[in-house]
Structures are given as C-alpha cells and as structure tokens.
Amino acid sequence: MIENMIMLQAAPQGGMGGSMIWIILILVVMWVLMLRPQRKKEKEERKFREGLKKGDRVVFSGGIYGKVNSVDTHTVEVEVSNGVVLTVEKSMIQPAPETKTTEEKK
C-alpha cells in the first residue's frame, strides 16, 4: 500500500502549455460573449444618432421623452413639452421605446 502512495506522488505534472491553452480559450470566450455584443450595440446607437432628424421621438438617458426640433454636429434641440426646448448632447439621446418596436416589426 505504501508503494502505491509513492507511485501516485511521483506522477508527472502538466506543463505550462496546457494552462496557456485554457487562458487563451477563456479570453476568446469572454470576447465572444461580452465584448462583441457590446460593440454591436454601440455601433447601432452611433448609427441612430447620426440618422437623427426633425420629428424623431427620443428619450434622454435620464428618462425624459421628447421630439427632435433640430440637429447640429454635437447637439440636438429636443422639445419636451409645448414651448419647452432643451439643447442636449447627442451622446445622451436614445431611441424612444415605441420607436424601437416599430423598427423591429419592419
């Protein structure tokens, strides 16, 4: 029995090649599952912001809904109520939920 224990302890250990393969595999899986969808979402949001035009319904990242009055290079004027117009940075605007559902149906 003691001889069996000695043989088990003397078993060769795996090299670094096996662990490197696992690390690379984990990084590839992380890129596919996390980073790629995030980049796709950012690309869609950028495309939406570049295509803004007068009359589009939008929502601010803070939850305020409005309708686009005019679009400049970096800013957008949005009417949130009758006669109340806010000038907002383009990066703070998202498509209104009803706009998303209408586009998804097409």
pTM over 0.95: no
Q: What does each C-alpha distance from 90 to 26, 58, 87 come to in angstroms? A: 36, 11, 9
Is 57 in contact with 99 (CB distance < 8 Å)?
yes
Per-residue pLDDT tens over the stretch 40-99: 988 998 898 889 899 989 998 888 999 999 999 889 999 999 989 999 998 888 888 875
3 state DSSP class of 73: coil
Is 85 in contact with 71 (CB distance < 8 Å)?
no
Look at residue 34 and tell me whether its pLDDT is greater than 90. Answer: no
